[in-house]
Structure 1
Amino acid sequence: MLLLDPSKKMSFNRCIRDGDLVIVYERHDTMKAVKVCENSVLQNRFGVFKHSDWIGKPFGSKVFSNKGGFVYLLAPTPELWTLVLSHRTQILYIADISFVIMYLEIVPGCLVLESGTGSGSLTTSLARAVAPTGHVYTFDFHEQRAASAREDFERTGINTLVTVGVRDIQGEGFPDEFFGLADSVFLDLPQPWLAIPSAGKMLKQDGILCSFSPCIEQVQRSCETLRSNFTGTDIRTFEILLRTYEIREWKMDCSKVDDDRSVASPPCKRRQPSGEGSMGDNPSSPAVMARPSAEARGHTGYLTFARLEHVS
């Protein structure tokens, strides 16, 4: 995914090659990750697409099937990978991920510790944020889940930026080798308060910890642990609620009156700026309408951040 050239700079400015991972985009809610193989084909409702036709085209290309249907071949960015990855656990989505990266102050060169890895949604974005010289060390207690995440990171090309470990962070804490080296620590655990003392020891002075929890009771327990283990701690908790809108174009025909009052329809009249013609001059006029999406994600969890200073 994060395509690294010999100088370690990320780039998608090259053509698709045999063996690459691409995101096949049909529409905003229908995408899938496909590994390009010269002798393979993709079949969907639009027809049959030959992978051999994809090779040599730049990312973002529009390709056609044997029936004339088309799809787009997109680069597997962290944002798109979050939408198509296999869900081995509940995952963090773009709104939470972007907030986490900003408040953890993650920049290229940072060393970040994460527990647990889960499906790797956040890990992928963390890797891009620390590239090209930083590193993410992520841990999961479940061996098979960690192995699957490791395979995904190899597929997406970020395996040089991410190291996956199998470890029970709640019971064992982070490895001592990271003592005082981490710029940031992220916890996604059922009992984060058990890992907070170890996480604090891993952080550099003025380092930042973030804990993601779905229940407010977990937040309360974590904050108590933060206050009892560290001094001068700036603790803040946020809940990110994302509201999306659907944008559609309507044809407003003001030459006819809709007698069916049971069906809501866009108004056929609106105030025109001074000097413009009235709607009557153009009885069938397009208008762009926006409304909240019927299926909107609500609560995902609470994000608790703390800038830690060790007790002397």
Structure 2
Amino acid sequence: MRFGEWVLLKDVKGRAYLLRLREGGVFGHHRGNVPHEEILRAGFGGRVRTHLGEALSVHRPSLEEYVLHMRRAATPTYPKDAAAMVMLLDLFPGARVLEAGTGSGGLTLFLSRAVGREGRVVSYEKRPHHLRQAQENVRAFSDLDNVDFLLGGLEEAQLPEEAFDGVALDLMEPWTVLEKAVRALKTDRFLVAYLPNITQVLELLERAQAHPLALEKVLEVQHRTWDLRPPVAHPSFQQVGHTAFLVQMRKWKDSSSTPS
């Protein structure tokens, strides 16, 4: 551990706090303060106490924890959905993936990790302040340097044909970029869209009929956490409900192709 690294502190009630260690820094908790130097000495997996005696455990933040607590210009793709999108895209080390709707960079981080150092993520975002925040978030957490951040919409992008192993769309109206996205996607590979409501899903599927795309599945990712305090065990009272529908489509050779 060293100054400049991200640290996740957890208190006795499981509340998490993300911070970046800096020389002379002090973490403020409602139950007291603790200097960053003490956190550094404790190291990952260690414990510190505030000046009022509150115990805090020290952890290296996971990707999930970082995305949930990082600064945001837009609501990030929930980690449960981002992980599912990586699966639906069938990504692998060395893959090239096209993303439209960078947002705060949450999904971008998952895509970057999935394709690895030899792969590439090309990410488009129309809103300059969102793109700046995403760049900061991704570069602050990852040293892979495998993401190209581009300001603009996919509608105007000049993309090579059949150059990408996957396309991830986090847009309110993804059908407006289907022509560009499908041309850039390799045959028999996947396009996955993240959509908050079912009317968007229906609109996308209707518009997709004009393109060489076949619907594979539409799903929601549900996580049900449990509160375990032996001998008592019950589902947690606070649960993350619906976040989005994930739509997976596969590219066929031409618009007349249909599954056999």
Change (3 A) 1:126 1:26: farther
The answer for the alignment partner of 1:187 in structure 2 is 169
Counterparts in 2 of 1:225 and 1:235: CA distance versus 1, 3 Å:
farther
Deviates more, 1:24-33 or 1:75-84: 24-33
**1:142 Cα deviation after fit:** 0.2
> Is the 1:244–1:292 contact (alpha carbons within 8 Å) kept by the matching residues of 2?
yes
Cα offset, 1:234, TM superposition: 4.2
- Aligned residues of 1:212 and 1:303 also touching (Cα < 8 A): yes
- Structure exhibiting the larger radius of gyration computed from Cα positions: 1
Partners in 2 of 1:130 and 1:208 — Cα distance? 15
1:201 is aligned with what amino acid?
R
| 1:158 CA drift (Å) | 4.1
What is the letter of the counterpart of residue 86 of structure 2?
I
TM-score, structure 2 as length reference: 0.89
Conservation of the 8 A alpha-carbon contact between 2:71 and 2:133 = no
Q: Report the secondary structure of 1:55's partner residue.
A: helix
Partner of 1:236: 217
What are the superposed Cα offsets for residues 139-197 of structure 1, whole Å, 9 maximum, x if unpaired? Answer: 1100111011111122113461222111122x42x432x43211111001111111111
- For residues 27-74 of structure 1, give each alpha carbon's deviation from its aligned partner in whole angstroms, at most 9, with x where no partner exists: 575222211112111121343212122336542322233344322222
Aligned pairs for 1:45-84 (under 5 A) are 45-55=30-40, 58-84=43-69
Within 5 Å, give how 1:148-187 maps onto structure 2. 148-158=133-143, 160-169=145-154, 171-172=155-156, 174-176=157-159, 178-187=160-169
Q: Is the 8 A contact 1:187 1:212 kept in 2?
A: yes
2:129 corresponds to 1:141? no
Aligned to 1:304: 247
SS in 2 for 1:229: coil
Q: Deviations over 1:70-126 (max 9, x none)?
A: 222222321111220224223222321221111111121111111101121111111
Q: State the match for 2:73 in structure 1.
A: 88
Map residues 1-312 of structure 1 onto 2, 5 A cutoff: 16-26=1-11, 30-55=15-40, 58-158=43-143, 160-169=145-154, 171-172=155-156, 174-176=157-159, 178-230=160-212, 233-249=214-230, 287=231, 289-311=232-254
Structure 2: stretches of 5+ with no match in the other structure: 256-260
Determine the C-alpha separation between the residues in 1 that align with 2:158 and 2:51: 55
Whether the 8 Å contact between 1:23 and 1:33 is mirrored in structure 2 is: yes
Q: Deviations over 1:181-223 (max 9, x none)?
A: 1111100111111111111111122221001111212111211
Count of paired positions: 255
Equivalent pair of 2:125/2:153 in contact (CA under 8 Å): yes
Quote the Cα distance in structure 2 between the aligned partners of 1:303 and 1:310: 23
Distance 2:25 2:173 in 1: 46
CA distance in 1, matches of 2:192, 2:57: 36
Give the letter for the 1:206 counterpart. Answer: D
Q: Distance in 1 between matches of 2:59 and 2:12?
A: 12
For residues 162 and 15 of structure 2, the distance between their equivalents in structure 1, rounded to whole angstroms, comes to: 44
Instruction: Give the distance between the partners of 1:202 and 1:189, measured in 2 at CA.
Output: 17
Which is further off, 61-70 or 160-169? Answer: 61-70
Q: Give me the whole-angstrom Cα distance separating, in 2, the residues matched to 1:245 and 1:55.
A: 32
Q: For 1:305 and 1:81, how far apart are their aligned partners in 2?
A: 26
CA distance in 1 between counterparts of 2:41 and 2:95 reads 35
Cα distance per residue 1:268-310 (max 9 Å; x no partner) = xxxxxxxxxxxxxxxxxxx2x2222222222111111011023
Unaligned ranges ≥5, structure 1: 1-15, 250-286
Give the Cα–Cα distance (whole angstroms) in 1 for the partners of residues 48 and 88 of structure 2: 40
Q: Distance in 2 between matches of 1:72 and 1:38?
A: 20
Q: Distance in 2 between matches of 1:92 and 1:104?
A: 15
CA RMSD of aligned residues (A): 2.1
Amino acid at match of 1:175: Q
Q: Which secondary structure state, in structure 2, belongs to the residue aligned with residue 195 of structure 1?
A: helix
Equivalent pairs: percent with the same residue?
27
